[in-house]
Every structure is written in structure tokens, then in C-alpha cells.
Amino acid sequence: MAERQLVVFDFDWSMADQDTDRWIFEVQAPDIRRKMEKLESSVQWTDLVAQSLREGHEKGMKREDIEHALKIIPYHPAMVRAVTNLKARGKTTFLCLSNANSVFISTILKEKGLDTLFEDIITNPAEWDDSGLLRLRRKIDPEGPQHGCKIGCSPNMCKGEELDAFLGRHSPAYDRIVYVGDGSNDFCPVLHLQSHDIVCCRTFGGLPKRIARDGETFGLKCQVKYWTGAWELEEIFDNL
Ligand SMILES: [Mg+2]
């Protein structure tokens, strides 16, 4: 077993069994959810969620409504077991790298009793204002310098750059990195992994497609393990 191990988690469809941004509107405002579907191809996703939160707020969607939706989000009990048991064995540091936002993630983790799991949560900043509006911003300010990722990260954040920056802040180097993800924007950070590292790739979503299509071309070096249900990820974790 590795002496110092880093487990990196994407959040939506990786840690949670749903997509937080879409889920809260599916629960509380399906008309806005439908509108997001129509605008997704023309508006940057984080901006679209921020805009939809403002629209929901104007239509009377309250902070408690959003928090309720987050607390009932599909979340597999085996996921809680998998991370809790791995953490209890020591030697593993957990990092969250997500395109959701700080409030969604912290609210859900608190509900699951996992609020101390992650060493760091790198995501889009959000905060409640006094009127109960959740104000959300891109991790990278659209007015400032942008990341130069050519692999396919969204403008709000390059997960590969963020992973490298985290590794730069933490020494000595980890003996092994295990990355859990499902989406096409998880492909960039996975390309930063080495041959002794592992990606735990969900069998659905953009990541398995990118690995199959572009893995060889882009020089993917790490081992790939596939999982569908969290009980299967638990099996992988139990053998780390
Ligand atoms: Mg995801």
C-alpha cells in the first residue's frame, strides 16, 4: 500500500449520484430546468446556473428550498462507507475538484456527516446574500486572465491546472494519486497522472468516451478502473 496517497474526487455524478446544478431546479423549478436545457449550448455553464439562481429567487425559490433539494439528492450509502473507511485507515488525503460550487458541496457533505473529509474543496465560489439569493461566480473571473487549457476544460476552471497547483502546495509528493470522475472535464487532470496512479472512471458520462477516443493520442499513462454503482467503487477503495 502507498504510504502517502491522494484521492481526488469530482463531485457531480462521482461523489453524489446526481448533478447538483440540474437537480435543485428539477426539484424546485422544472420550468427553469427546461430553460437551462435550451440555453446550455449558448451560455457558459456556471454563468447559466448563476442566472438561473437569480431567476428562481425572483420567482420565490427560497434558501430553505434549495437546501432541502440538496439534502435529498441521490447519494449512495456505499459512497459514505467507501470514503469513511478509507480515511479511517490513514495515509489518504482527500481533495475535491468540482465545477459545482462551494455552497452545494458543503451543504451535502454536512448532511452526510462528511464535512471534514476533504483537505481542500476547489470549486466555484458561492455565498448566500441577506435576501436568500445564492450568489455564484466562476472560479476564474471572466474579466481577468483565463486558463490556457486545450484539452476541454470549461472556462470557469481548468481541473488539470488546479490539481498541479494543489500538488505544488503539498510536499513531499504523494506516492499515488487516485482520481474519481465521470465527466469530459475530468479528462484533463487524468492526463496529469502517472503510470502508478489510478483513475476510477464511471462507466457513463463523458470521461469514459474521452478515454476510449483520445486516451492513446493524448498519452494517458495511469491505470483505468471502471465502476458504475458506488458499491463497486467501495470494492476498489477497499483494495487500495
Ligand atoms: Mg461529474
Give per-residue pLDDT as tens, 155-191.
Answer: 999 999 999 999 999 989 999 999 999 999 999 999 9
Do 100 and 78 have their domain in common?
A: yes
Phi, psi of 239 (to 5 degrees): -105, 10
Give per-residue pLDDT as tens, 60-113.
Answer: 999 999 999 999 999 999 999 999 999 999 999 999 999 999 999 999 999 999
| Mean pLDDT value across residues 215-222 | 97
Do 28 and 97 have their domain in common?
A: no
pLDDT at 1 over 70: no
CA of 125 relative to ligand 1 center, distance in Å: 17
Whether 163 and 194 have beta carbons less than 8 Å apart is answered as: no
Identify whether 90 is part of a domain. Answer: yes
CA of 174 relative to ligand 1 center, distance in Å: 24
Question: How many structural domains does the chain have?
Answer: 2
Give the span between the Cα atoms of 145 and 135, in whole angstroms.
22
pLDDT value for 3: 86
CA of 115 relative to ligand 1 center, distance in Å: 19
Helix then strand then coil, in percent of the chain rounded to 5, is: 40, 20, 40
Catalytic residue selected from 10, 21, 186, 197: 10
Whether 171 and 152 have beta carbons less than 8 Å apart is answered as: no
Q: Helix/strand/coil (H, E, C) string of 14-68? A: CCECCCHHHHHHHHHCHHHHHHHHHHCCCCCHHHHHHHHHHHHHHCCCCHHHHHH
State yes or no: is 12 an active-site residue. Answer: yes
- Answer with the one of 34, 52, 71 that is the final residue of a domain: 71
Give the span between the Cα atoms of 114 and 132, in whole angstroms.
25
SS3 139: coil
C-alpha cell at 115: 464535512
Give the span between the Cα atoms of 231 and 7, in whole angstroms.
17
State yes or no: is 130 an active-site residue. Answer: no
Do 57 and 99 have their domain in common?
A: no
Residue 19: closest CA among 31, 1, 36, 5: 36
Identify whether 134 is part of a domain. Answer: no
| Mean pLDDT value across residues 43-48 | 97
Do 226 and 152 have their domain in common?
A: yes
CA of 130 relative to ligand 1 center, distance in Å: 30
Residue 197: closest CA among 215, 182, 175: 175
List the beta bridge partners of residue 226: 201
CA of 28 relative to ligand 1 center, distance in Å: 21
List the beta bridge partners of residue 10: none
Identify whether 129 is part of a domain. Answer: no
Give per-residue pLDDT as tens, 113-122.
Answer: 999 999 999 9
Do 95 and 53 have their domain in common?
A: no
Identify whether 132 is part of a domain. Answer: no
12 labelled binding-site residue = yes
Give the span between the Cα atoms of 54 and 134, in whole angstroms.
8
Give the span between the Cα atoms of 78 and 231, in whole angstroms.
5
182 labelled binding-site residue = yes
Helices (H), ranges, 172-218: 187-191, 206-214
Identify whether 78 is part of a domain. Answer: yes
